[in-house]
A = this chain, B = another copy of it.
Amino acid sequence: MSEKGIVGVDVGGTNIKAALVVARTIKKRVILPTKTHQGLRSSIAQIQSAIEPFIDKANAIGVGIAGIIDSRHGIVKYSPNLRGWHDVKLVHILKKKFKKPVKILNDVNAICLGEWKYGSAKGYNNVFLFTLGTGVGGAAVCEGKLLFGAHGFAGEFGHTVIKYNGPKCTCGAFGHLERYAGARFIVARARRKMRKENSSLNDYHHITPEIIADEAKRGDSVSKRVFSEIGFYIGIGVANIINLLDPDVVIVSGGISRAGNILFEPVRKTVNDRILGKHNRIFKIIPAKLGDDAGILGAAYFATAYDK
């Protein structure tokens, strides 16, 4: 008889990724559209369809999902990317359907748990992870415990203030890090510079932060300056984290975390300039290792191995 696995699920605003995880390894995968525009029932049906192919080979289900997640009671309190999701008893729904143990947690917490148990943060007791994408998310391990906070709303790194009188964020408040380092604002910064100066970015119809990173590496001066500027802003945010949480390691996850020195150099320089007691701290700021798998592996781990 072969070893039973766990179904790990990562529910995003666009896609649902699910996989069978056996002995800490992803065996088979499925990706389905989230169908959030069709409402709550359709999205739940899609989550069930993503789990279905693996359920006979699994002992448990773990789901990572964006938003405020009450892991203890198994409720999705609110999810900004999933239309109509308010106080959804997801654990109850999935247990009833599949008759197996189910646990849910915030998606960035799942990524953090994945990188902590199997990836870049393995072996450390104090970890901070942040994701760079449309939004800027965060999650922490403090003294060997994943930080949920009082309402499952800890880790909102993108909505920390780096300039109290700065520009307005998508959330309505001012000077938040996401307003500088969220994907659309990185692209807008590049476009502003392109108006004044020649750039190889003009060859592209559609610009993304990944394209800007590639062009920066090829020597485009507009792209290089975009990254040195956003690296500075991210560095300010990371310096605040280091001063507050004193982590062993800071993990950068998401699309542009693979940009290399073009991103990490200005981040590290700014952190070094801005933290207290730099000679007494040893820490690393490094890219995540597991890519998209981190969320699935973290959710699967949470389903059975984590004591919360």
Which residues does A use to contact B, with CB under 8 Å? 68, 77-78, 124-126, 138, 140, 142-157, 159-165, 171, 173-175, 232-233, 236, 239-241, 243-248, 273-277, 280-283
Contacts and interface: CB of A to CB of B under 8 A. Distances in A.
A205 to B, nearest CB: 34
Nearest to A153: B246
A283 B153 contact: no
Nearest to A232: B164
Contact of A150 (B157, B159, B233, B247): B247
Contact of A149 (B163, B171, B233, B245): B245
A244 B277 contact: no
A277 B126 contact: no
B153 A281 contact: yes
A163 B163 contact: yes
B142 A147 contact: yes
A246 B150 contact: yes
A75 to B, nearest CB: 12
A39 to B, nearest CB: 21
Contact of A154 (B149, B165, B236, B244): B244
Contacts of A154: 126, 244-246
A17 to B, nearest CB: 25
Contacts of A161: 162, 236, 239-240, 274
A231 to B, nearest CB: 13
A297 to B, nearest CB: 21
Nearest to A77: B280
Contact of A173 (B124, B155, B274): B274
Contacts of A244: 138, 140, 154-157, 160, 241, 244
A243 B150 CA distance: 11
A140 to B, nearest CB: 8
Given A161-B240, A161-B274, A164-B232, 20 more contacts: A68-B280, A125-B150, A126-B150, A142-B143, A145-B145, A148-B246, A149-B247, A150-B281, A152-B246, A153-B246, A153-B277, A155-B244, A156-B244, A162-B164, A163-B163, A164-B233, A164-B236, A171-B276, A173-B274, A173-B275
Contacts of A164: 162-163, 232-233, 236
A131 B177 CA distance: 26
B162 A149 contact: no
A126 B77 CA distance: 19
Nearest to A160: B240
A54 B232 CA distance: 53
